[in-house]
């Protein structure tokens, strides 16, 4: 197992979980889910997600465990759904609280539309010390999904080899 990479994700309906588990399997690394202490089920939950994202509001997180301290991973890959054109408030909350502990970061976005949401990477970079080293924007079930997922895995592998 590659102990230098940590995949962390939030997923409300399973899409980001699906992509992140595939990416973690391809990279042979740890994969951990993060959540906040908010009920986000159903229509009310959906509205809450949209409002939280638009207001950039973050809430207390549920505890989660990683096998090493966050700062000991050479790369953290953070996966999040897009909510209202932004990262989920759970990903934002994680970055706000822990972003400065991270050596290097890469992003995986999942979304429902064909838009790539490239500006979201820059928004997330505001919470970390160094700009992200790799990124991918995925729509589960789209024709390009496997191509872009594999391209991301290749970019991460090349980055880890070059930095070694």
> From the CB of 134, what's the least distance to ligand FMN, in Å?
19
Three-state secondary structure readout of the chain: CCCCEEEEECCCCCHHHHHHHHHHHHHCCEEEECCECCCCCHHHHHHHHHHHHHHCCCCCECCCCCCCCHHHCCEEEEEEEEECCEECHHHHHHHHHHHHHCCCEEEEEECCCCCCCCHHHHHHHCCCCCCCCEEEEECCCCCCHHHHHHHHHHHHHHHHHHCC
Pick between residue 6 and residue 91 the one whose CB is nearest to ligand FMN. Answer: 91
> From the CB of 85, what's the least distance to ligand FMN, in Å?
5
Pick between residue 26 and residue 140 the one whose CB is nearest to ligand FMN. Answer: 140
Pick between residue 111 and residue 132 the one whose CB is nearest to ligand FMN. Answer: 111
| Interacting residues toward ligand FMN by CB under 6 A | 11-17, 46, 49-50, 81-85, 110-113, 115
What's the N-to-C CA distance of the chain in angstroms?
16
Pick between residue 16 and residue 104 the one whose CB is nearest to ligand FMN. Answer: 16
> From the CB of 2, what's the least distance to ligand FMN, in Å?
23
11: left (phi over 0), alpha (psi -120 to 50) or beta: beta
Q: What are the beta bridge partners of residue 77? A: 7, 106
Pick between residue 92 and residue 111 the one whose CB is nearest to ligand FMN. Answer: 111
> From the CB of 96, what's the least distance to ligand FMN, in Å?
19
> From the CB of 163, what's the least distance to ligand FMN, in Å?
29
């Amino acid at each position: 197992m590659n102990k230098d990479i940590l995949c962390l994700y939030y997923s409300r309906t399973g899409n980001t979980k699906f992509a992140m588990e595939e990416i973690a399997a391809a990279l042979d690394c740890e994969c951990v889910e993060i959540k906040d202490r908010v009920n986000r089920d159903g229509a009310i939950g959906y509205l809450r997600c949209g409002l939280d994202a638009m207001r950039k509001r973050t809430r207390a997180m549920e505890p989660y465990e990683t096998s090493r301290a966050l700062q000991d991973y050479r790369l953290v890959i953070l996966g999040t759904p897009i909510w209202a054109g932004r990262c989920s408030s759970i990903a934002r909350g994680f970055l706000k609280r822990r972003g400065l502990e991270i050596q290097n970061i890469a992003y995986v976005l999942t979304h429902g539309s064909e838009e790539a949401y490239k500006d979201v990477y820059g928004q997330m970079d505001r919470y970390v010390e160094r700009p992200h080293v790799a990124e991918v924007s995925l729509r589960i079930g789209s024709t390009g999904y496997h191509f872009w997922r594999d391209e991301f895995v290749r970019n991460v592998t090349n980055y880890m080899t070059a930095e070694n």
